Amino acid sequence: MKRITASLLAAVAIALAPVAIPAAIAKDAAAVKVDQGQVLRSDAKAYLDNLKKTPRPAMSDAMIAQIRKIPPQMIEQMMGASEVPLGTLAVDRKLTMPGPGGTMDLRLFDSRADRGPGPVVVFYHGGGFVVGSIGTHAALAAEMSRQLDLPVVSVEYRLAPEHKWPAAPDDAEAAARWVAANGKALGREVNGLVLTGDSAGGTLTLLTALALRDKPAAAPVKLMIPLYPMTDASKPYPSMQAFSGDFGLPQADMDYYGKAFAADVNSPRHSSLLADLHGLPPTVLATAGFDPLRDGGRAFAAKLAQSGVPVSYYEAKGTIHGFATFRKALPSAQDDLNAILALSRAMLASK
């Protein structure tokens, strides 16, 4: 039983990073150590070498059904092998809200017990739209609260394969609207939103910003901070072909996530790069140098600039997808996160 549980937990650890992208003709990435002048960092190489030594089952509906049976506390403890502890907070409180598919769980993180009127951060966790939770990404949400000096509300949205597209973007949009209109429930006076998330959560960040641009919420979106999002599933990009092998995102698993989520890859409600980007809020968009999703992120940042949207683009050279929640396994990732959040503070201050 312990061996089976360990295998399942290993599968969860890998799944917490990726989002669904289309199958591409993947080449052997094991030999790709240098790309456009960048070298794989030593901590990233050590992390990837360790992954190769850890046998794990392929992702499947049956595997997900088994993962759902693992107590959330056990999965969160497993994250401690690669992510730093939660850290100090003044407020860490669970809430609920009515959602499109029923009651949704939220969690408020705040580095201050009390504060005046200001923006609230809405955070969406990653995990390929299949796994992940508020708990698995609690340390990242807490760090954002401390560094941005803002309250953060993390969102538990419906996951595939039980709940296919567009359940996740529907929940993400509903949560942002609820936060904007319910400052009293948070004990905060909300005068704006900051949307953010990693991987699949980065994708939800972009989709929610588009929805709130077209139909504004009770408070305006002042900034979005998508971390290594999937921006375009309608076609393969060179980085998908280069880094979908031995760089932490197995192609077979990504194919499964796409099948499980079952999104329309040609819809701007999934592939946000296909949308008109005019009028989106100022953006800090981050990618990783050895990330299959890197080139889609680059393309999105470029289109934002072409659309007249203020944008800061940060590419974490020499590291891999998921770095922001692997800060114990990848110590250099803390410097990347510090830089991303410093850009975000500057962008907010300039408004």
Q: 43, 145, 151: which is closest to 95 by C-alpha?
A: 151
Domain annotation for the chain: domains and CATH numbers: 77-349 (3.40.50.1820)
**How far is Cα of residue 154 from the mean position of the Cα atoms in its chain?**
11
pTM to 2 decimal places: 0.92
Could you report the per-residue pLDDT of 218-264, keeping only the tens digit for each? 999 999 999 999 999 999 999 998 998 889 887 888 899 999 999 99
Average pLDDT, the chain: 91
Q: Is 239 a catalytic residue?
A: no
Helices (H), ranges, the chain: 2-15, 42-52, 61-67, 72-79, 138-148, 167-181, 183-186, 200-214, 238-243, 251-261, 294-306, 333-349
**Active-site entry in 253, 291, 295, 336:** 291
Q: Is 344 a catalytic residue?
A: no
**Active-site entry in 199, 271, 312, 344:** 199
* Residue 1, number of CB atoms within 10 A of its CB: 5
**Distance, first Cα to last Cα, the chain:** 55
* pLDDT level of residue 123 (50, 70, 90 thresholds): very high
- Structure letter (DSSP) for residue 173: H
**Active-site entry in 125, 137, 270, 321:** 321
The two structure tokens encoding residue 311: 């944008």
Q: Is 291 a catalytic residue?
A: yes
